[in-house]
Amino acid sequence: MKKILVTGGLGFIGSHTVVELQNEGFEVVIIDDLSNTSIGVLDKITEITGIKPDFHQIDLRVKSEVKNFFENNKVDGIIHFAAFKAVGESMHKPLDYYENNLGTLVYLLQEMRDRKLDNFIFSSSCTVYGQADELPITEKAPVKTAESVYGNTKQIGEEILRDASKAHDLNIIALRYFNPIGAHPTVKIGELPLGVPQNLIPFVTQTAAGMRKELSVFGDDYDTQDGTAIRDYIHVVDLAKAHIAALKRLISKRNKQNFEFFNVGSGTGSSVLEVIKAFEKASGKPLNYKIVGRREGDITAAFADTTIANKELNWKTEKSLDEALESAWKWQQAQN
């Protein structure tokens, strides 16, 4: 049985990926510092799969603890989710973001090099494309100057991985996520935003639940069919499964280069107003919203061309936007 380390394994995408790993027969060991989640998620994972993953509460910024972990645990692969992810906050705390998102990445890669470990999956983001010149976005689209410190940590992270993979013969895949949403069908795990949500879907579900007065739609003067911005929303379970596909590619040595990257989206673009309509249908509730000005740093449209990911990873999405919104709504109701 292959043993996989999942850093940030109690977070939103991490927890869903742990479940899929266990479903596929992998043994999972989780590292999480609990800075943006709770230990209760470990029990929920156990309830879903019937298997309690090995868990270590470790802050990856503490190099001695990272070393100590690897001294005592031999792993066949690493899926690295642990990172800060708030775009706005990253502009005020650049050094914290660089330390946490890049320092820890270097520590993990050093351990891999020193202990001859291999197979690494990195959480990257479609933010590396900025406003792409062509839609849908293929992997050939150029990486554009990052608009945020958060985005820059993903770009630099990929550069670190490319260099390390070449110099140390490591096999690495970066998955460039589009917009992950939804929750597990068991309604036991989902997104747990701290404070006022910055992302669209948690804000929508909290508004429908009466926790927020109304949703502000950021701009209706974009050059799109209804004037609101377009994104590619992917069900978190589909996204989790892409990690298993990528891991299997590395383990079975089917990768074509040491460092590869793939778009992981649904391939469909939806405007904010389309999402609102779909949510109203999924929840059976009208949503209170108003149009306000654009949000700084937002782009007009981004959605993935997933042809290469579908073919190379032998993976495709199975869930619709409606299913994703329905699961997000069920999850929200379960929280109240």
Q: Which pairing describes strands 120-125 and 233-235: parallel, antiparallel, or unpaired? A: unpaired
Q: Which of 129, 150, 222, 233 is catalytic?
A: 150
d(CA 206, CA 332): 7
Query: Given the complex with ligand UD1, which of 109 and 273 has the nearer CB atom?
Result: 273
Q: Which listed residue (49, 198, 320, 335) binds ligand UD1 by CB under 6 A?
A: 198
Query: Given the complex with ligand UD1, which of 170 and 272 has the nearer CB atom?
Result: 272
Q: How many other C-beta atoms lie within 10 A of the C-beta of residue 20? A: 22
d(CA 263, CA 260): 11
H/E stretch holding 292 reads strand 289-292
Indicate whether 125 belongs to the interface with ligand UD1 (CB under 6 A). yes
Query: Given the complex with ligand UD1, which of 102 and 112 has the nearer CB atom?
Result: 102
Q: Give the per-residue contact string, 221-260, with ligand UD1 (x = CB under 6 A; - = no).
A: --------x-x-----------------------------
d(CA 122, CA 79): 6
CA torsion sign for 320, 323, 326, 327 is negative
d(CA 117, CA 269): 38
98 is catalytic: no
Indicate whether 297 belongs to the interface with ligand UD1 (CB under 6 A). yes
- Across-strand partners of 121? 79, 173
Indicate whether 218 belongs to the interface with ligand UD1 (CB under 6 A). yes
Indicate whether 101 belongs to the interface with ligand UD1 (CB under 6 A). no
- 231: tokens are 């994104």
Pick the stretch among 48-56, 98-106, 185-193, 293-301 that binds ligand UD1 (CB under 6 A): 293-301
d(CA 107, CA 137): 32
Asked if 232 and 304 touch (Cβ cutoff 8 Å), the reply is yes
Q: Which listed residue (76, 96, 220, 298) binds ligand UD1 by CB under 6 A?
A: 298
Pick the stretch among 37-45, 160-168, 196-204, 250-258 that binds ligand UD1 (CB under 6 A): 196-204
Tell me which residues are annotated as active site.
150
Kindly list the residues in this chain that would bind ligand UD1 in the complex (CB under 6 A).
85, 87, 125, 127, 151, 179, 198-200, 203, 215-218, 229, 231, 272, 295, 297-298
